[in-house]
Structure 1
Amino acid sequence: MPLLHLPNEMLIEIARSLWEENDLNAFVRVNRHLYTLLSAYLYAHNLRRFEDDEIDTGSAALIWAIIHHGPEATYKLALDAERNSSPSSDIRPSDCALKLALVLERVDALTLLFENRDYHDVDKQAILKAARIGNVDVFRTMIESGFFEPSYADERGMTSLMEAAIRGHADIARYLLGFEEVDLNARWDGGFTPLYMAVEDGHVEIIKMLVATGKVDVNAENAYGVTVLSKAVRANQPECVRALLEDDSLDPNAGAIDMMSPLQDAAFWGELETVNLLLEGGADPNFAPTGTTALSIAAKEGHQDVVDTLLGVQGILIDSQPHFTQSWLLDAVIRGRVSLVETLLAQPGINANEKNDDGNSLLIAGITEGQTETVFALLASGNVDVNLTGRLRRTPLHVAVHRGHADIVRRLLSVNGIDPNSRDWFGETPFGLALIEQDHEILFMLLEVQEVLDDAIFGLAKSITYAEGED
């Protein structure tokens, strides 16, 4: 008897006896009648095999259709089989298919899945994954399906807008801004907002987009007191700073990292472009919540270009604020930063004769450190007292002789008004110290000065002794 002459009931029993997927598939495809009669059974069988975990998910009809761009009928028949079955597993082919279509960015597959399956029980976090992937067509398809919410936030507060901001997916961010229910100031763990996340990775387009809404709190601080502006400065993102300053409500002095305001932080790192942007944006150059201005910080760190910029700001305060018990001018002197010393000495209000906690002047400190160039800069300013004593009542000349700095000794001796015979706490003159140190170059240099020579002949000559054989 021909196969097609068998009753349908018998054909169905034959199909039920074929357990292997390939055998059943081949039987169903013999002719149109068998396909029409048994296709629903074929998909139901496929579903049972999937749920029993006897084959891998790649053999599921829906999974196959997504991978191989199967026909629309495959989606519908597979989903009908799933809808009419009593699930024996929490894992359904349609859920796996949704995840796969999302990963592969298959808009057409997602559309077919949403049209033929009720996904109200699906994991809502899938929308966050879509935002993370960044395909706006995929994302829009998921939102328009009605199964996912544009304002969804997971248990830690992560939203789709945050995911887009982190990864710079401007198209998705722009799409989300069209929904009133999307919270532009939502906070993730630690108080991080979408704007903060965009700033962190320098996504300027998204920053501008968020700021332009006028609904973003640009002065919001995270749990650590850091504002988006502070973060942009620390990340050395001048374009982000520029975008943030477009919001008139931005406080350029607010927020702190390591107890420094945005301007102080920019000065510390020598970010000249950012310093200029902040000053143009209204940052207070004298703002010093910790007692140290941006100018002092820049000077201490040796950022000459930043110092020059700040010194040109009207109303800037020039002072000598302490840095580890030393003024920032003193710090520049002992570090040998010649141009910085020259710049600071030219400013009104600078005390060139300031002493540190050891009681030594700037000049003595520079000589002690052997910083010849900065010592010369101090002397060239004409504002230092070359006879100002420090510890042990020693003058700069005493110290230069004691340290053996012949070039500095020569320069000091050329200064009008210097006292070459000043005596220290022990009654020693610079010449007496040169004798003790047996520094002949400096000895003869001193003896070229008439006052020293006279003092040597009439005051110290009796104490001069020479080793046997010496001239």
Structure 2
Amino acid sequence: MATILLLPDITQQWVRSKGRSVVLRMIHKNQKAILECLLKSGKLDVNTALRRSRSYESSLLYIAAAQGKSEIVGLLLGFETINLDLKVYNETSSPLGIAALNGHLQIVEKLLQFPGIVVDGKKVHQGKATTSLHLACRRGHVEVIRLMLKAFDDRGLDVDVQDTSKLRMTPLQNAVYGGHTDTVALLLLRQDVDVNRTFGPSRMSLLQAAAQGGHGRTLSVLLGHGRVDRNDVRNSRQSLLSEALSGGHWCLMEILFDYESGPLNIIRQSLDLATEPSGKCVDILEKGLLEIASLPTQDNTLWHRAARTGDLSLAMLLLEHAQTYDACTQSMVDVNRRNRHGQAPLHVAVDSGKIGIIELLLHHKQIDIDLTIKSRYGWNNGSAIVIAKKEYQRYWHYQKGERAYIVDLLLAHGARTASRDRADTAHKVVLPPSAMGLKEYVQHLPEHCEDLRVKNHASWASVVEIHDGGGGPERSNVEDKHAVGDIIPIDADDSTVEDPDAIFEDWMCFDDEETSDNNSLEIWEREVSLV
């Protein structure tokens, strides 16, 4: 290596441009000796920022911290000229922040040994900052959080500060929404943490957040904490039932039916042990809808959730409910209700290419297939067939065959024909039990739909993300919560580092707060790859 570095063509500029993939590989493969030789030669500065893509670059320390390369981090920290808080363009957190987010305890320990290191966040806006503590709480890394709490206390910093995400959440609120029970229990021990502070546009409480996420154990811990105000209207039985219903958490709903009427210790015990509902989900759904009938109506329905996330099991349950009960008066299951962006569930499903959801929606006898978008922005007032036919730039994720199949499917179900309150029985689907997979479900679809699928889209099963080796509908759109920051393709020439706030805003998609007209969020963590 030393001989190679003597070559006149191997300049500092060459290393930063042509040799960046080599340097990235050194970090990924933990080649400490070679990297040290390169750094000591002067051909690579310890504070060099390497381009990862056309728009992003990161410092060596940030890259090593993100990947959990403790030895490389130790090497870089040994250089006196190292800048621990080097601000690099589009690098949205510090090396300490990215290490805390990914739970790299040894690296956090090494970085905190430097007294001058910034621990309370680099991004500051109107008195708010996404701190390393926020990032650790988002993933529930308890040991990292203990270190961060000590560092905050040693420096006299506020641990209850809001972050820079759109929801302006505190570390405790981050932990509750993520369902990290041990982290929640740890933070509740602190008297300087406000347990009744609300967040988000709807001013959601901690109990509401736990209920919406279906985090029974976390809800149990909160209910057992004396400082949590159970008398707040947001923490009422109706309110918690509404949040659990909007998240489709039937087991939690079944327990909450006895909330306020049964002994608290029994409720908490049930929450701790909850696994599966004892009753039929469709009956729990109907009872829950009746319980929350007096509450203000949410813009987004359960059909919107199913259409946005591609949740086939939820869509099948909603269709079963429509066939079992009179769903006309229930806004939460109204198949034609528009959200605040003017989109009905069918518009959302067509816009995002969720073919399985589209088919189920079209079997709802009350579907208005020609309902148009009523957008306050006026950018699109078309029906589902118009959305499917137009080739917008954002349709890059659509295959031509998929769009053609959706168009044919809509036409086969009478698109451009008024179809509200259809009473025909030809579209009534015999739904499978929830334990059945997609193959069994497909067999119950009307014959003309099956023919159309074979004719226009032979790989339909792969489109809805159900594979031969996979399970049923529950397998669609599953998040990989362990994919961030740990790997880099061996043959990659470039790499990307996540933006913790951008990723978190993707997870935090409330039913009453979609972030854009083209909301294609795949709830919860749609995480990009790290270097």
Instruction: Settle same-fold status: TM greater than 0.5.
Output: no
**Which has a greater percent of helix?**
1
Task: Quickly name the TM-score band, shorter chain normalised.
Answer: 0.3 to 0.5
| TM-score, length-scaled by structure 1 | 0.44
Q: Which has the larger radius of gyration?
A: 1
| TM-score, length-scaled by structure 2 | 0.40
Higher relative contact order (CA 8 A, sep 6+): 2
